[in-house]
Amino acid sequence: MKNLDTLLELALKAGKEASKVLLEYKDKNTLWLKDDDSPVGLADIKSNEAISEILASSDIAICSEENILSYEERKNLEYFWLIDPLDGTKSYAKKDKEYCVLIALIHKNTPVLSLIGDVENNVFYYAHTYTKVYKNNEILNLSLEQYEKVRNIALYSKNHDNNEDFFIQNYLEGVKVSSALKFVYLLEAKAGVYPRFGGPKAWDIAAGDFLIKQNGGILYDFNKKALDYNSPDFKLPSFIAFAKSEFKLKGF
């Protein structure tokens, strides 16, 4: 196992630098469509450059939403960085505050270190396999009672219609949130469950998956299997996440 303390410091440095870039470009961003019709902007590219420049010193391969390593390049890698330099491009373009930076270190198809940068609030959540989850420089330390109060509040997307609303209308109270900040809501005891239907990409979910599990939660697909973060096309199955593993709903 590599020195995860050193690599987490590097990820935090990269996340902070990317956040500066995203704040700088918010008023001068331009958007265009990629080949898959998803939006990308100048800010995505600049953030990606900032993160990649810093992570390059680790001598670990970097795979980003904006610079995807082919499966042939990464299928036999023991480690690689998996990043989304701007998760929530649509919100960012609308000058909303619900966007973030995502960095994860993948080891044998599974994240072992990750960071979510809540840019607008200047808050970074991060951990590796042998640490608790940190919020900036302090361990995130909420009581089980705080999570208990929100166990029946579910999260779904503002910008994607993936049938989460059906789930929520039939089972739980719902809250709309953009980007991977949904995972922050689980970490911060603002919601208890996050169902995702449809095919998210690995770079959207890896960082949040790891942090939720490090904080005593759980995330798996609807066959109750862990997600594979090094599949050929990076497409993930539908899944469900719980802020605390003991809060699992019956049937899930």
Q: Is 235 in contact with 199 (CB distance < 8 Å)? A: yes
d(CA 199, CA 246): 26
Alpha-carbon distance values, 112 to 124, 131, 144, 204, 228 (Å): 17, 10, 24, 16, 13
> Residue 133's closest CA among 212, 186, 15, 209?
212
Binding site, annotated residues: 65, 84, 86-87, 204
| Contact status, residue 59 vs residue 78, Cβ threshold 8 Å | no
The answer to whether residues 202 and 41 touch, using CB atoms and an 8 Å cutoff, is: no
Binding residues for Mg(2+), by number, are 65, 84, 86-87, 204
Q: Environment class of residue 124 by beta-carbon count within 10 Å: exposed (0-12), middle (13-18) or buried (19+)? A: buried
Residue with tokens 């809540």: 118
